[in-house]
Amino acid sequence: MHLDLVNSSGYMLRNKLCRTCGIYRPPRCSHCPTCDNCVERFDHHCPWLGTCIGKRNYPYFISFVLSLLFIIIFIISVVLHFMV
C-alpha cells in the first residue's frame, strides 16, 4: 500500500507506508529496526556511534570519520618517528 504524490517539478514521489511507525515514508527514508523508527535519507545504523546515520547527522558523521583518519595518521607517524 502506498500513496503517490507529484512534487513541483512533476516528478512522481512514491511514499510507502511504514507499518511499524504508521506513517507514509518520503523517498530515501528507511526504517531502522535497531532504533525502531524511520530515518530520513537513511545511510546506515552505525554500531560505533550507536545511532543511525541519516539526514540530520550525516555532516557530523563525515567529520567524525575524517577526524578518526587524522588521528590514525598522527599515531602512525609518531610511532614511525620514535620506533624506526
Tell me which of 29, 38, 46, 52 is the catalytic residue: 46
- Sequence-ordered alpha helix ranges (H) in 1-84: 58-83
Out of 29, 52, 53, 61, the residue judged to bind Zn ion by CB under 5 A:
52
Residue 53 interacts with Zn ion (CB under 5 A)?
no
Q: Measured from the CB atom, is 35 or 68 closer to Zn ion?
A: 35
Q: Which residues contact 16 (CB under 8 A, 6 or more apart)?
A: 2, 24, 25
Q: Interface residues with Zn ion (CB under 5 A)?
A: 18, 20-21, 31-32, 34-35, 38, 45, 52
